[in-house]
Amino acid sequence: MLRTTLSLILIIGALGAPVSAQTGDVDSGGETPSVEKLVADALAAHKAGKSMEAIQHLQAAIDAIQQVGTKSLTSFLPPVPEDWNATEPKTINGNWGSGAQAFQWSQVTRTYTTKDGMRVSVTFSNSPQLIASQRQMAATFGNEQMVKMMNMDPNKEIKVFKKEGWNGWTIVEKNKASGVAFGDKIMVSVDLNRGTEEVFSKFWKQVDFDGLRGAK
């Protein structure tokens, strides 16, 4: 989660502009705000010459749409294994700019822990711009000779994959591991601290990549 969130911060920071964002726990109850009404209110305010009020209504509509997407992503989080604990899913939604400079993201993460200190974070992100930056990293890992050189380190193993609409890689080191996969609009990140490769593989295999391809 930290790596993915830092990527968002770095990309947005490079743009040098304020950001509209919301964070919090996933609310599984309550009614979703009416996007149609918010847009209608924005149009009415615009016609009345109330520009700032119109913008506020449109921002609320964007937030409502992103909340729907976040709830969809949450439904794909792996279940809590036996003898593990987990936090409530945490979300971050936001947007920046407009037109060609627009940047939007919806993200959900959940952290799983054990009493003996193992820790796994699973993050799903819906952000075209974030995925674009990961494609650049994938191009680096696409160099087989470079990957072979990196794998000369006996304490590290990098595996690159491309299948069923997903591209990505896994990095396994002593007591920790990470994996990144991205499709057309969803990015998956699994990070293990103080654990075994077996534990990492268990969580990685529980990710519903087929279902995530159709997530909103």
pLDDT tens series, the chain, 216 aa: 445 443 443 333 444 444 444 555 645 444 545 878 878 887 888 888 888 887 787 777 766 666 665 677 888 999 999 999 999 999 887 766 565 555 667 889 999 999 999 999 999 998 877 788 788 888 778 788 888 888 888 889 999 988 888 999 999 998 899 999 998 889 999 999 988 999 999 999 999 998 888 776
One-letter amino acid for residue 104 of the chain: Q
CA pseudo-torsion sign 58, 43, 39, 105: negative
* Residue 102: both structure tokens together: 């627009």
DSSP H/E element including 105: strand 103-113
CA 131, CA 52: separation in Å to the nearest integer? 32
The count of other CB atoms within 10 Å of the CB of residue 62 is 17
How many domains are contained in the chain? 1
Burial 68-105, CB ≥16 within 10 A → b, else e = ebbbbbbebbbeeeeeeebeebbbbbbbbeeeeeebbb
Range(s) of the domain holding residue 175: 2-213
* Residue 186: both structure tokens together: 């969803």
Plot region of 45 (φ>0 → left; ψ -120 to 50 → alpha; else → beta): alpha
Task: Read off the pTM.
Answer: 0.71
